[in-house]
Structure 1
Amino acid sequence: MIDVQLLRDQPDLVKRSQEARGNDPATVDAAVAADLARREALQHFESLRAEQKTKSKDIGKASKEERPALLAAVQELSNQVKEAQAAANDADEAFYEAVRVIENIVIDGVPAGGEDDFSVLRHEGVKPEFEFAPRDHLEIGELLGAIDMTRGAKVSGARFSFLRGIGAQLELAIMQLGLNKAISNGFVMLTPPTLVKPEVMRGTGFLGEHADEVYHLPADDLFLTGTSEVALAGYHADEIIDVDSPLRYVGWSTCYRREAGSAGKDTRGIIRTHQFNKVEMFVYANPAEADAEHERLLAWQEEMMAALGLHYRVIDTAAGDLGSSAARKFDIEAWIPTQDAYRELTSTSNCTTYQARRLSVRARGEDGKAAPVATLNGTIATTRWIVAVLETHQQADGSVLVPEALRPYLGGQEVLQPKE
Structure 2
Amino acid sequence: MIDPVLLRNDPDAVKRSQRARGNDEAVVDQALAADASRRSALTEFETLRAEQNEFGKQVKAASKEEKPALIARAQELAASVKAADARAKEAEAAFEDASMRIENVVIDGVPQGGEENFVTLRTVGEKPTFDFEPRDHLALGELLGAIDMERGAKVSGARFYFLRGVGARLELALMNMALDRALQHGFTPLITPTLVKPEVMRGTGFLGEHADEVYHLPADDLFLTGTSEVALAGYHADEILDLAGGPLRYAGWSTCYRREAGSHGKDTRGILRVHQFNKLEMFVYTDPADAEAEHDRLVAWQEEMLGALGLHYRVIDVAAGDLGSSAARKFDIEAWVPTQDAYRELTSTSNCTTFQARRLATRFRTETGKTAPVATLNGTLATTRWLVAILETHQQADGSVIVPEALRPYLGGLERLVPERLVPEKGI
TM-score normalised by length of structure 1: 0.97
Q: Secondary structure at the match of 1:386?
A: helix
Q: State the partner residue of 2:345.
A: 344
Q: State the partner residue of 2:393.
A: 392
Q: State the partner residue of 1:358.
A: 359
Q: Secondary structure at the match of 2:105?
A: coil
Q: State the partner residue of 2:373.
A: 372
Q: State the partner residue of 2:72.
A: 72
CA distance in 1, matches of 2:413, 2:70: 90
Q: Secondary structure at the match of 1:405?
A: helix
CA distance in 2, matches of 1:396, 1:241: 54
AA of the residue aligned to 1:272: R
CA distance in 1, matches of 2:405, 2:286: 34
Cα RMSD after superposing both structures? 1.4
AA of the residue aligned to 1:230: V
AA of the residue aligned to 1:32: L
Deviation at 1:59, TM superposition (A): 3.4
Q: State the partner residue of 1:323.
A: 324
Aligned pair 1:33/2:7, yes or no?
A: no
Q: Secondary structure at the match of 2:116?
A: coil
Q: Secondary structure at the match of 1:375?
A: strand
Q: Secondary structure at the match of 1:71?
A: helix
CA distance in 1, matches of 2:188, 2:73: 62
Deviation at 1:69, TM superposition (A): 3.7
Q: Secondary structure at the match of 1:123?
A: strand
| Range with greater deviation from structure 2 (173-182 or 51-60) | 51-60
Q: State the partner residue of 2:236.
A: 236
Q: State the partner residue of 2:4.
A: 4
AA of the residue aligned to 2:334: E
Q: Secondary structure at the match of 2:250?
A: strand
Q: State the partner residue of 1:416.
A: 417
Q: Secondary structure at the match of 2:363?
A: strand
CA distance in 1, matches of 2:242, 2:385: 35
Deviation at 1:214, TM superposition (A): 1.1
Q: State the partner residue of 2:120.
A: 120
CA distance in 1, matches of 2:21, 2:136: 35
CA distance in 2, matches of 1:363, 1:45: 29
Q: Secondary structure at the match of 1:97?
A: helix
Q: State the partner residue of 1:217.
A: 217
Q: State the partner residue of 1:406.
A: 407
Deviation at 1:51, TM superposition (A): 2.8
AA of the residue aligned to 1:144: L
| Range with greater deviation from structure 2 (79-88 or 64-73) | 64-73
CA distance in 1, matches of 2:356, 2:60: 51
| Range with greater deviation from structure 2 (112-121 or 407-416) | 407-416
CA distance in 2, matches of 1:16, 1:209: 20
CA distance in 1, matches of 2:288, 2:79: 45
Deviation at 1:74, TM superposition (A): 2.5
Deviation at 1:64, TM superposition (A): 5.9
Deviation at 1:234, TM superposition (A): 1.4
Q: State the partner residue of 1:312.
A: 313
AA of the residue aligned to 1:335: W
CA distance in 2, matches of 1:127, 1:211: 37
CA distance in 2, matches of 1:250, 1:53: 51
Q: State the partner residue of 2:425.
A: none
Q: State the partner residue of 1:201.
A: 201
Q: State the partner residue of 1:156.
A: 156
Deviation at 1:125, TM superposition (A): 1.0
Given the superposition, is the C-alpha separation of residues 408 and 59 from structure 1 closer, same or farther in structure 2, using an over 3 Å criterion? closer
Aligned pair 1:259/2:248, yes or no?
A: no
Aligned pair 1:276/2:277, yes or no?
A: yes
| Range with greater deviation from structure 2 (67-76 or 186-195) | 67-76
Deviation at 1:216, TM superposition (A): 1.4
CA distance in 2, matches of 1:80, 1:246: 47
Q: State the partner residue of 1:249.
A: 250
Deviation at 1:371, TM superposition (A): 0.8
| Range with greater deviation from structure 2 (39-48 or 303-312) | 39-48
Aligned pair 1:300/2:301, yes or no?
A: yes
Q: Give the alignment of 1:163-178 within 5 angstroms.
A: 163-178=163-178
Q: State the partner residue of 2:86.
A: 86
CA distance in 2, matches of 1:55, 1:249: 53
CA distance in 1, matches of 2:345, 2:233: 23
Deviation at 1:203, TM superposition (A): 1.2
AA of the residue aligned to 1:407: R
Deviation at 1:61, TM superposition (A): 4.8
CA distance in 2, matches of 1:90, 1:354: 23
CA distance in 1, matches of 2:60, 2:186: 66
CA distance in 1, matches of 2:274, 2:403: 24
CA distance in 1, matches of 2:138, 2:58: 84
1:351-385 deviations in Å (ceiling 9; x for gaps) = 11111121121111111111111111111100000
1:245-293 deviations in Å (ceiling 9; x for gaps) = 1111111111111111111111111001110000111111111111111
Q: Secondary structure at the match of 2:115?
A: coil
Q: State the partner residue of 1:132.
A: 132
CA distance in 1, matches of 2:286, 2:55: 50
CA distance in 2, matches of 1:288, 1:48: 40
CA distance in 2, matches of 1:233, 1:64: 59
Identity of matched residues, %: 74
Deviation at 1:86, TM superposition (A): 0.7
Deviation at 1:402, TM superposition (A): 1.1
Q: Secondary structure at the match of 1:116?
A: helix
Deviation at 1:62, TM superposition (A): 4.8
Q: Secondary structure at the match of 2:277?
A: strand
AA of the residue aligned to 2:170: L
Given the superposition, is the C-alpha separation of residues 399 and 363 from structure 1 closer, same or farther in structure 2, using an over 3 Å criterion? same
Deviation at 1:22, TM superposition (A): 0.8
Q: Secondary structure at the match of 1:77?
A: helix
Deviation at 1:55, TM superposition (A): 3.4
Q: State the partner residue of 2:424.
A: none
Q: Secondary structure at the match of 1:349?
A: strand
CA distance in 1, matches of 2:354, 2:62: 54
